[in-house]
Amino acid sequence: MYALVDCNCFYVSCERLFRPELNHKAVVVLSNNDGCVVARSPEAKELGIKMAVPFFEVREFYDRGELHVFSSNYALYGDISSRVMSTLEALAPAVEIYSIDEAFLDLRGMQLNYDLNRYGHQIKQRIHKWVGVPVGVGIAQTKTLAKLANYAAKHYPKTLGVVDLSAASWRSRLLKKTNVADVWGVGRRTAAKLYAEQIFTAADLAESDAEAMGKRYSVMLQRTILELRGIPCFNFAEQPTEKQQVLCSRTFSSRLTELPPLKEAVREYAVRAAEKLREEKGLARYISVFLRTNPNARFEVKYANSAAVTLPNPTCDSRVLMSIAVQLLEQIYLPGYRYMKAGVMLGDIQPHNSYQVDLFNPDLHSPKSQQLMKTLDEINQRYHRGVTFVGQGFEQNWSMQRQHLSPSYTTSWQDLRRVRC
DNA sequence: TCTGGGGTCCTAGGACCC
DNA sequence: TCTGGGGTCCTAGGACCC
């Protein structure tokens, strides 16, 4: 048996922790650059605000004082997330952290000694008491069914936030009630095709010919069908696997046209990506840079391009990655466009303690480089942006907008800076 | 005027090998 | 008239997730 524990409108719940007067009010959290709505309180959903709509489309609610708005504060959400996860780790035999706001629990064997429904409520109460955010709990034989149970826990108030699908009768009832588009792994495209062949509910999908569907759609859908029948196909992964790629990209606060500020931004992203890579204890051999104008603009000339290179030897040195990123940018930059976004991607990642050096090319992971990067990271862990490269720029006028940012309640960057000033 | 930022897995097709 | 059979690796693109 598996449980899926998922925090309700997580980012909103994090903000409410420190602003309890916003409980029972319409609240949303915006994506970076205050672009789209990425989290909504139930009251905001009632206003008809859909997931991922651009903020300017719902701004009227805010202007009328009916909606409270926050820019995303990932330092806060990351910290609250780790509190939720460590609480879960004390409650379950094994935990797979699936995303910032949800985790699978492996309950193998527990059904013999526990009433799983009661156990689900214990989890919910413990997290509420210790961390303060509301969660939903879904319990079932496979991950896909646990997802479905969790979905039911959130959508049907009668469940009080916990659904246990151990009983076959409950399972088939829920499958019949659930739209096939709400099944984990069925996206918009697949759902549209399924409707066309008269598959409307999760039950319809579960009863379809798994092998034939696998051939017509994909093996992923085939596995989903089996999972809906209670046959596990997706493994439980307690240990996070090493990342295959690391990406840093941002939308600029305003459109950029000239090369110098674009270079600054790309250097900044390369340095951030290199930091993430070192956190992963990885070395990258593949580096790619992309650049694009606004794909949604109707009356604008569009342009998007990317360039990549594979290095002879892998590295995590910010200086190397930064200078290569700028060279790649120069290959794809064209004057005359209003650029909206750029990004740096690192791939072909290998562990830093076991890699092969190409003898005929310089080692980009020399002891000197390692020492320098270690020192850099140590300083920057203590002092936010303590050491930066000149090329990253000082003003960074292109850097994103966050007009509705909450304070760092639980992390100390901003406060520390203020004290030191 | 105004639209995020990460990731994963799978597949088809091309290039190449013997 | 008429040209095999078995592989691997890489990449781009699609679909999905949060």
Residue nearest to nucleotide B8 (CA to C1'): A244
CA distance A392 to A261: 9
Return the CATH architecture of domain A9-72.
Answer: 3-Layer(aba) Sandwich (3.40)
CA distance A177 to A179: 7
**Taking a C-beta distance cutoff of 8 angstroms, is the pair A79, A69 a contact?**
no
DSSP for A104-115?
A: EEE-TTGGGTS-
Q: Which residues touch strand C (CB under 7 A)?
A: A 98-102, 147, 183-191, 308, 310
What pLDDT is recorded for position A352? Answer: 87
Digit-coded pLDDT (tens) for A128-166? 999 999 999 999 999 999 999 999 999 999 999 999 999
The spacing between the Cα labelled CA in A243 and the C1' in B7, in angstroms, equals: 9
The spacing between the Cα labelled CA in A184 and the C1' in B13, in angstroms, equals: 30
Q: For residue A190, give the nucleotide whose C1' atom is nearest its CA.
A: C15
CA distance A220 to A4: 20
Burial class (CB in 10 A: 0-12, 13-18, 19+), A375: exposed
DSSP for A176-244?
A: HHSBGGGSTT--HHHHHHHHHTT--BHHHHHHS-HHHHHHHS-HHHHHHHHHHTT---SPP-SSPPPPS
Q: For residue A400, give the nucleotide whose C1' atom is nearest its CA.
A: B4
Digit-coded pLDDT (tens) for A36-90? 999 999 999 999 999 999 999 999 999 999 999 999 999 999 999 999 999 999 9
The spacing between the Cα labelled CA in A407 and the C1' in B1, in angstroms, equals: 28
Q: Which residue has the tokens 């190409």?
A: A358
What pLDDT is recorded for position A416? Answer: 40
Q: For residue A187, give the nucleotide whose C1' atom is nearest its CA.
A: C16
Q: Could you tell me the CA-to-CA distances from A211 to A169, A231, A328 in Å, in that order?
A: 25, 14, 45
The spacing between the Cα labelled CA in A210 and the C1' in C4, in angstroms, equals: 35
The spacing between the Cα labelled CA in A223 and the C1' in B10, in angstroms, equals: 13
| Protein-covered nucleotides on strand C (Cβ within 7 A) | 11-12, 14-18
The spacing between the Cα labelled CA in A242 and the C1' in C7, in angstroms, equals: 29
DSSP 8-state assignment for residue A40: E
What pLDDT is recorded for position A109? Answer: 83
**Taking a C-beta distance cutoff of 8 angstroms, is the pair A220, A244 a contact?**
no
The spacing between the Cα labelled CA in A358 and the C1' in B5, in angstroms, equals: 34
The spacing between the Cα labelled CA in A287 and the C1' in C11, in angstroms, equals: 15
Residues 6+ positions from A131 with CB-CB distance below 8 Å = A80, A83, A84, A87
Q: Which residues touch strand B (CB under 7 A)?
A: A 31-33, 35-36, 38, 52, 54, 56, 218-220, 241, 243-251, 255, 276, 294, 296-297, 340-341, 343, 400
Residues 6+ positions from A46 with CB-CB distance below 8 Å = A26
Q: For residue A102, give the nucleotide whose C1' atom is nearest its CA.
A: C18
Burial class (CB in 10 A: 0-12, 13-18, 19+), A293: middle
Provide the CATH topology of domain A245-383. Dna Ligase; domain 1 (3.30.1490)
Query: Model-level pTM?
Result: 0.92
Q: For residue A249, give the nucleotide whose C1' atom is nearest its CA.
A: B5
DSSP for A344-373?
A: EEEES-EETTS-PPPTTS--SS-HHHHHHH
| Protein-covered nucleotides on strand B (Cβ within 7 A) | 1-11
Domain A77-228 sits in CATH at 3.30.70
Other C-beta atoms closer than 10 Å to the C-beta of A236 total 14
Burial class (CB in 10 A: 0-12, 13-18, 19+), A111: middle
What pLDDT is recorded for position A363? Answer: 86
The spacing between the Cα labelled CA in A218 and the C1' in B13, in angstroms, equals: 18
Nearest to A145 by CA among A167, A125, A113, A119: A167
Q: Which residue has the tokens 């379950």?
A: A92
What pLDDT is recorded for position A421? Answer: 27
What pLDDT is recorded for position A201? Answer: 96
What pLDDT is recorded for position A123? Answer: 97
Nearest to A221 by CA among A237, A243, A199: A199
Q: For residue A295, give the nucleotide whose C1' atom is nearest its CA.
A: B3
How do the pLDDT tens digits run along chain A, 421 residues long? Answer: 999 999 999 999 999 999 999 999 999 999 999 999 999 999 999 999 999 999 999 999 999 999 999 999 999 999 999 999 999 999 999 999 999 999 999 998 888 888 999 999 999 999 999 999 999 999 999 999 999 999 999 999 999 999 999 999 999 999 999 999 999 999 999 999 999 999 999 999 999 999 999 988 999 999 999 999 999 999 998 888 889 999 999 999 999 999 999 999 999 999 999 999 999 999 998 999 999 999 888 888 888 888 888 888 899 999 999 999 999 999 999 999 999 999 999 998 988 887 777 777 888 899 999 999 999 999 998 888 889 998 898 888 888 888 999 988 887 654 443 333 2
What pLDDT is recorded for position A338? Answer: 93
Domain definitions of chain A by residue range: 9-72, 77-228, 245-383
Q: Which residue has the tokens 């030191």?
A: A420
The spacing between the Cα labelled CA in A332 and the C1' in C14, in angstroms, equals: 24
The spacing between the Cα labelled CA in A158 and the C1' in C11, in angstroms, equals: 50
